[in-house]
Amino acid sequence: MPRKALREHTLTVPEVKKALELIGEDKLDQFQRRSLDYASKFAKVDDEKAEVIVDTLKDKFGLDEEEAIQIVNCMPESIEEIRVFLGGGRKIIEASKLQEILSFLDDNRK
């Protein structure tokens, strides 16, 4: 019998990694093991730091949750890279704000 999702919530790659680790590798199916392998290789920060970064990007910098999560997943290293995640250039954001975001990300890298 298929299970019904109770709610949907977007997760960062580090949060996915932690969730799969909590299940236990021996209990994961093939797809979940591949997802854990991917998350282990590409998580740029740990799950606790990812949550703090997402919250700060939303609260301090006014980004929406989807933008903040994608930024945490990729941890861009330049203003040009940050712009990719902010409406594909359709959103006009001051250069000084983008520099603040970049400095904040630099302070929170592994």
pLDDT digits (tens, 9 = 90+) for 52-88: 999 999 999 999 999 999 999 999 999 999 999 887 6
8-27: per-residue pLDDT in tens? 889 999 999 999 999 999 99
pTM (two decimals): 0.86
Residue ranges per structural domain of the chain = 13-42, 47-107
Any long-range contacts for 8-13 (C-beta under 8 Å, 24+ apart)? 10/65, 10/66, 10/69, 11/69, 12/47, 12/50, 12/51, 12/54, 12/69, 12/72, 12/73, 13/38, 13/39, 13/42, 13/43, 13/44, 13/50, 13/72, 13/73
Angle at 73 between CA 71 and CA 78, to 5 degrees: 45
Q: Which listed CATH number (2.60.40, 3.10.530, 1.10.150, 3.30.2000) goes with 47-107?
A: 1.10.150
